[in-house]
Structure formats: structure tokens, C-alpha cells
């Protein structure tokens, strides 16, 4: 496929800029060489972007069971709300009294999401989940520092954690202590008890965890950490399984992030924009990044928390993502939120049950909103790996599940159907999975050769990592 710059010819163009309606000014230091813009007609431009759009796979194209990423359908009403002129035709430096509606969106979102999670205060500055983790850990750090409790330098992370958890802890200046999981996928409570001490700053955990299991010892886990003087951080990326059913605040967590782009239905994948809103209990609220919105009888104001850690992003974060999340919450309402979570769990269990006819599950069910399959035995008997099955799915228009994660499961495929898939779709997809299992036995080479129907075939991933070609030279 040609680049847009390689299409068209000099002189071809379309006029996208409206006529200038402000006085023209002379720049003091204008550029001297002309801008290298593509010379294409409107037809060519439209075809170019349509061709690009056809080469990607999104939730609007087909099944997208990317475990831990919650690729659910994004209701179009969210887009309608996010593009209302009152939200788009404004400037972040406008006086407060002229953007009361926008401030109310932030205040209302903090209130409703706080109610869903059991948190007292919230910031929408972080742009993604990992950014939220970093922010939440800085809150924990500021809390201990404020109390002159400077010996607390360690963050405890279970071995099933998402890779961003230990990475965020290190970026925030902590040392990471790993605790193992037991054969049931839950944290080894005795190992945790042995790991905590006066140097424990906190614990990071996601529940349900990345193997799709709700840790039934969660109250004991958070108590052990609190008794040792540490705080508890909840990675909210898996909230889709439990929203409206159980609250991280009630599980004993002090600070959380939400991936608004996952659980609360904003298009993601391909890099954002996202929102890693961070909620916290009262004890951490004075440390939140500022400004935050305060509401009183006369309206909304922006205020700086007393001991704020400072900004983690310019202005108020990815505001339009918050609008979408608020729309989603208000659309579903008090009944719809838990219903979505329950259907997500039901769908995952339905697929898990059907696929266990042939595939080996890493952990016995029932699962929460996702489940992990272990394809080691398939690889041993047929030579076909989790990667081969994933590539085979591509030829059927199905996005592969998350592969080789979590790290504690060998040849892992992690499937998360979400509540927005119908039984008919899941039946079709299960049919494909089971068919590929047969292909692995009957004609393994066909799977090694997959995919055959995609714009690019199997890529040399090692080569791409070792000898990356980062500059397009024209081919
Ligand atoms: C997605 C995810 C994250 C990171 O969130 P981003 O928005 O991608 O930065 C963290 N933890 C878990 C369990 C996740 O699934």
C-alpha cells in the first residue's frame, strides 16, 4: 500500500481550511521552505483512509476476546455526547464560570465512579491505567513521607500481576517484592504474611486477578498489609467482572485506578486516548494531583488539594473519555451496571465450559470475566503452540486472545468475551476454536502457515525486535 505522500500529483488538492475570519498577522519568523503536504484529491484521500481502516480489526469488525483488555462494544451514544459543542468548543484555560457544565461532568463522574468503587475522591488526570498506577503509587509515597515514615520502600506484587504493576512501582521509586500464587490462582497468604514488615509501603493487586479468579482471601490480604502499616492499591482493569456487585473500597483497598477505556466503554487499542482515573479513600485525598473539582451551593470550582503531589498531566486529563464513561454509567444506571458485570462473567463461563471440551484450562472454573487456557499439552502432542492457534483465528476474522500472559501459565491463551457478545457469536467462535484444535492434530502445518488471508502473513517477530526498521525508505 502506498503512503498518502506517494499518491496524487502536484496541483491536485482539496480545500479543507475555511476562509480566514480573523485579522491576518505577519509572523516575525516564518518558515522559508514550503510545507510538504500530500497533493491528493478528495476521492484519493477518502480511499486512502478507507483502505487503512479495512486493514485494522476492531470491535466493530468482529470478535475481539483480548483478555485483560475488555474490548467491549462502545455505544455510539457515548460519541454523540463527547462531540457536543459544549464539550468540544472550549479551551482549558477558560474562566471557571464559563465551563460549569464541564466541571460538573468531572464532579458527577467522580461521585458516581466513587460510589461504584467505594472511594471518596478521584482525579481524571492520568491518561491510561499504567499512568494511574504510577499516580496512585505516588500518593502512597506522599502519604508515608508526610508521616515521616521513610523506611517504607517496598511494594508487594503477586506473581500473577500485570506487567505494568511492578514497572509502575519501580518508576515511582519503590523496590518490588514478589509473592507467589497458590495452585488455585490466589495469593499465597502465608507468603504474604512473611513478606510484609516495617519496610512495606503497600501492596498492588487486581481482583479478580489476571487468571480470572476472584481472590476469596481478599479481606485477610488487605488486613495483613494494613496491620503492617502498608496501604493497598487496587488495579481496577478487571472491574468489568464486579462493577456494581462488590466494591474495591469494601475489599479494603485505599487507592485504585479505573481503566475508563476498558470497563466504561471508550474505544481503545491502537494507543488511546484513554483514562486511568485514580480514586482514593479520604486519607489520601489531600495528596491527589490538582486541581480537583469542588462543588458547593454556587457551582463548581477548581481547587488544589492541600498536599498535592502536583500535576501528572496537563489540564484535566483526556476529558472526552470521561464524558463517554459518564454517559455509559448514566445509560446503564444502578441496575444496568451490575447486570453488565454478571453477563460478562456468564459469557466467560459459557465459553470456558464449551472450550474445555478439548482445551485444557489453567485453573478450574467457574471463572470471572475471563479465563486462561494452557496449550502446553496441545503443543507437546501436535507441535502447534498457542501462537499457532492465535494465528489460525486470524483467518476466521477473529482477533486472537491475549497470548503468553499471565507469565505463570505456559502456552497461555487468555479469553475475555465481555458482556456485549451474543450467544450466537460465542457459539460461532467456540466452533472455530474447536475446529482449530482438530486442525492442529490433522494438519499441523496448516496452522504453522497461518494466517493466509490477512494483509500480511506471519511476521518475523524476532527479526522485528532485533533489527527493527524504524524509518520508511519507500518500497
Ligand atoms: C490494561 C491493564 C493495565 C494497564 O492499563 P493501560 O490503560 O493499558 O495502561 C494494568 N493492569 C491490568 C490488569 C490491565 O489489564
For the stretch 420-457, pLDDT in tens is: 999 999 999 999 999 999 999 999 999 999 999 998 89
Is 270 a residue whose pLDDT tops 90?
no
Q: Does residue 158 have its Cβ closer than 6 Å to ligand 1?
A: no
* Mean pLDDT, rounded, for 130-143: 98
Our mutation pick for probing the ligand 1 site, out of 159, 168, 237, counting the most ligand atoms within 8 A of Cβ, is: 237
Q: What is the pLDDT of residues 196-235, one digit of tens each?
A: 999 999 999 999 998 889 999 999 999 999 999 999 999 9
Single pTM value for the model? 0.93
DSSP labels, 187-237? B-HHHHHHH-STTEEEEEE-SS-TTS---TTHHHHHHHHHHTT-EEEEEGG
From the CA of 129, how far away is ligand 1's center (Å)?
5
Query: Which residue has its alpha carbon closest to ligand 1 atom 15?
Result: 68
Q: Does residue 164 have its Cβ closer than 6 Å to ligand 1?
A: yes
Q: Does residue 209 have its Cβ closer than 6 Å to ligand 1?
A: no
Percent of the chain whose pLDDT exceeds 90: 85
Our mutation pick for probing the ligand 1 site, out of 130, 241, 265, 407, counting the most ligand atoms within 8 A of Cβ, is: 130
* Of 365 and 314, more confident: 314
Banded model confidence at residue 475, pLDDT cuts 50, 70, 90? low
Banded model confidence at residue 284, pLDDT cuts 50, 70, 90? very high
Cα three-residue angle 264-267-269, rounded to 5 degrees: 115
pLDDT, position 17: 78
Give the lowest-confidence range in 32-36, 83-87, 222-226, 268-272. 268-272
From the CA of 212, how far away is ligand 1's center (Å)?
14
Asked if 474 contacts 416 with a C-beta cutoff of 8 angstroms, the reply is: no
Query: Cα Rg for the chain, rounded, in angstroms?
Result: 25
* Mean pLDDT, rounded, for 136-160: 97
Q: Does residue 258 have its Cβ closer than 6 Å to ligand 1?
A: no
Q: Does residue 166 have its Cβ closer than 6 Å to ligand 1?
A: no
Is 245 a residue whose pLDDT tops 80?
yes
Taking all residues of the chain, what is their mean pLDDT, rounded to a whole number? 95
From the CA of 237, how far away is ligand 1's center (Å)?
6
Q: State which ligand 1 atom lies nearest to the alpha carbon of 68.
A: 15
How many angstroms separate the CA atoms of 253 and 341, rounded? Answer: 20
Amino acid at each position: 500500500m502506498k503512503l498518502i505522500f506517494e499518491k496524487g500529483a502536484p496541483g491536485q488538492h482539496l480545500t479543507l481550511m475555511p476562509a480566514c475570519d480573523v485579522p491576518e498577522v505577519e509572523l516575525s519568523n516564518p518558515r522559508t521552505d514550503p510545507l510538504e503536504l500530500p497533493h491528493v484529491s478528495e476521492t484519493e484521500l477518502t480511499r486512502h483512509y478507507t483502505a487503512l481502516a479495512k486493514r485494522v480489526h476492531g470491535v466493530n469488525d468482529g470478535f475481539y476476546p483480548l483478555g485483560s483488555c475488555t474490548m467491549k462494544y462502545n455505544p455510539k451514544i457515548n460519541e454523540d455526547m463527547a462531540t457536543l459543542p459544549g464539550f468540544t468548543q472550549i479551551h482549558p484555560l477558560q474562566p471557571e464560570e464559563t465551563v460549569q457544565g464541564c466541571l460538573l461532568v468531572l464532579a458527577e463522574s467522580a461521585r458516581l465512579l466513587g460510589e461504584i468503587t467505594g472511594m471518596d475522591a478521584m482525579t481524571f488526570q492520568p491518561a491510561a491505567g499504567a499512568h494511574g498506577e504510577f499516580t496512585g503509587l505516588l500518593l502512597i509515597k506522599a502519604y508515608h513521607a508526610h508521616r515521616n515514615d521513610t523506611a517504607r520502600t517496598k511494594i508487594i506484587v503477586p506473581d500473577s500481576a500485570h506487567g505494568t504493576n511492578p514497572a509502575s512501582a519501580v518508576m515511582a521509586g519503590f523496590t518490588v517484592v514478589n509473592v507467589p500464587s497458590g495452585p488455585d490462582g490466589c495469593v499465597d497468604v502465608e507468603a504474604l504474611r512473611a513478606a510484609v514488615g516495617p519496610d512495606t509501603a503497600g501492596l498492588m493487586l487486581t481482583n479478580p486477578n489476571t487468571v480470572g479468579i476472584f481472590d476469596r482471601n481478599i479481606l485477610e490480604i488487605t488486613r495483613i498489609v494494613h496491620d503492617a502499616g502498608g496501604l493497598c492499591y487496587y488495579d481496577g482493569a478487571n472491574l468489568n467482572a464486579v462493577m456494581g456487585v462488590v466494591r474495591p473500597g469494601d475489599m479494603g483497598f485505599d487507592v485504585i485506578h479505573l481503566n475508563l477505556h476498558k470497563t466504561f466503554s471508550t474505544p481503545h487499542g491502537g494507543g488511546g486516548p484513554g483514562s486511568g482515573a485514580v480514586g482514593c479513600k479520604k486519607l489520601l485525598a489531600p495528596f491527589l494531583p490538582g486541581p480537583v473539582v469542588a462543588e458547593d451551593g454556587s457551582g463548581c470550582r477548581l481547587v488544589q488539594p492541600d498536599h498535592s503531589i502536583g500535576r501528572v498531566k496537563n489540564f484535566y486529563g483526556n476529558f472526552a473519555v470521561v464524558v463517554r464513561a459518564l454517559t455509559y454509567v448514566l445509560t446503564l444506571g444502578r441496575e444496568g451496571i451490575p447486570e453488565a458485570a454478571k453477563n460478562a462473567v456468564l459469557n466467560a463461563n459459557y465459553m470456558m465450559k464449551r472450550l474445555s471440551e478439548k482445551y485444557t484450562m489453567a485453573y478450574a472454573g467457574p471463572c470471572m470475566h475471563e479465563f486462561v487456557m494452557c496449550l502446553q499439552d496441545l503443543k507437546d502432542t501436535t507441535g502447534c503452540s498457542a501462537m499457532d492457534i492465535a494465528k489460525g483465528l486470524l483467518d476466521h476474522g477473529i482477533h486472537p486472545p491475549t497470548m503468553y500472559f499471565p507469565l505463570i501459565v505456559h502456552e497461555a491463551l487468555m479469553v475475555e468475551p465481555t458482556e456485549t457478545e451474543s450467544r450466537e457469536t460465542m457459539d460461532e467462535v467456540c466452533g472455530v476454536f474447536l475446529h482449530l484444535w482438530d486442525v492442529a492434530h490433522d494438519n499441523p502445518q496448516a496452522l504453522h502457515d497461518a494466517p493466509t488471508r490477512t494483509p500480511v502473513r506471519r511476521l518475523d517477530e524476532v527479526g522485528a525486535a532485533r533489527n527493527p526498521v524504524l524509518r520508511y525508505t519507500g518500497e
